[in-house]
Structure 1
Amino acid sequence: MTAAVPPALRAQRRRRAARTAAFLSPWLIGFSVFFLYPLGATAYYSFTHYDLINPPVWVGLRNWRYVFGDYPYLGQALRNTLWLVAIMVPLRVLFGLGVGLVAVRLRRGANLFRTLCYLPFLAPPVAATIAFVFLLNPATGPVDQLLDGIGIGTVGWFNDPDWSKPGLTLLAVWGIGDLMVIFVAALVDVPREQYEAAALDGAGPWQRFRYVTWPAITPIVLFAVVTGVIQTMQYYTQAMVAGKVASGIVGGPGQSFEPGYPQGSTLTLPQLVYESGFSTFDTGVAAVLSLILFAIAMAATALLLRRRAGFLGPD
């Protein structure tokens, strides 16, 4: 039989719980207002017909059946988004780590090198994308002129469905200043004594990286991969701007643009969400697409966190 809890102890526990709740209240309020409520509202609207003007009308699973059965762009947008996650995220992490390794090993000009590598990250996404589209223009861009001059030939880049996603990947790799800063901080924090001990044991550069550097920066690599997956699942601005500029659409009265140029190769799930919600005003379909995007991002994050030992080595 369980002994009764003294009233004084119960009062102490209540005071402790109230004090804890008071300290947690800013986070609880923010979580409820900016995450829990929008998520619940999105789930509700996915079962309604809502055009942002008239009150929502309950339609049950009609939006879900339409998206998974008749929506013509879901498969292509999902494939493009997953392609960017599978290719863009690893390349950004690898290049960011490589640039970070170079930055911490430079004896002279290290500050200048870090500044030059970080500057592209500061460029506004729209301006950087427009510049890349012009640089990679197959007719007038200097990159294709250089490739043609050395005998490789021109590449369609953002006008070719086979090269548009690699072009976006090059743009993402160019702006790796954020990852470089993170990796530089992690690499500087690795104890120098471990490198000296490994060198005394006869370890070469690769062995020192494999058995000293890599275990020390594994949490940072995991952080970079997880945040990269989440950011790439929300990839919108660069793909939209690249498609518009490459197609000759710059906006204005009387101009229409179908996202995904060329031939749907740059179409991503966030673009579908925006088009459904704010172009065709079909909020129910946009809510379904948002929940699909959220579920995929959560599943990928949970998989990475659960299998971190297998992906990145032992804890």
Structure 2
Amino acid sequence: MSRARIRLATAVMLSALAIGTLPATAQAGQAPAGPAAAATAGQHRPQAETIRQIPLQGAVNVRDLGGYRTYTGGQVRQGLVYRSDALSKLTDADLTTIAGLRLTKVVDFRIPMELQYDGADRLPPGLTATARPVSDLGLYGTLVGAISSGDPVKQEQMLGGGRAEAYMRDIYRTFVTSPENRAQFAATLRETADGRQGPMLYHCTSGKDRTGWLSYVLLRALGVPQSSAERDYLASNTFRGAYDAKVRAGLKQSGRMQNPDLLIPLQEVRQDYLDAATAQLEAEYGSFYGYLTQGLGLSLRDLVKLQDKLVR
């Protein structure tokens, strides 16, 4: 697609976003939820829509955001933007794989407490993560406290009875309401749009909430149908499921949690968590376009630059 056509398509897409006429369920091909779904349904869906996981030993939720089709007939370029979980446990073989991505920037959304417990990213020589903490409303500290107590009554009081789910919805709302969080997301999107910026990766601890929200926002800003952006978000459950189940089994076996299933709402991504954030942005900014321009402070030029760089 030529630059002129991209700009024209961008203008049409942004105008539609501004007045809310893009259909929420419009589809330009469907993205399978993960490798298993791709294997069973690939013959019925365009290969370009397959979610592209980067297989690593020390991280389970590393993906290339490229390949999605847009409303305007374009396709998100591959090899430019990656999303992931924490990179602190990468093996030597993983480092070789990461080096092959030719990253020029890594953005870390984790707060200091997460770094303290999990460690800094392990990256190829010459690459250092940029700290850009996004608040988790104390979730990590709550988890550490609940697990370390070893008290099943306290754990139930903290996480049971729908409290964990409510906590997650509150966290998602702060992605919209917190000026500090918005500033971190906006800075990352502006860097993503910069034509001088090479391939980049951003991540948090599990690569599902802070990372998942920004990926959803970026894909929708590029004109990827809402349904496809939601599938990308929900795919974290596919990629993280086995690892998270192993964590719960270990906690039960060690005696630290009598009922580790209390953690499931915190380990998973759910549509209603995402809906809490989108409902908040509509309440505060009227539309997704309003969130991009008023909430994140992105200019039309920023949005056009995103299209120019990331959509072909």
Q: TM-score, normalised by structure 2?
A: 0.30
Query: Which structure is higher in strand share?
Result: 2
Tell which structure's C-alpha radius of gyration is larger.
1
Higher helix residue share: 1
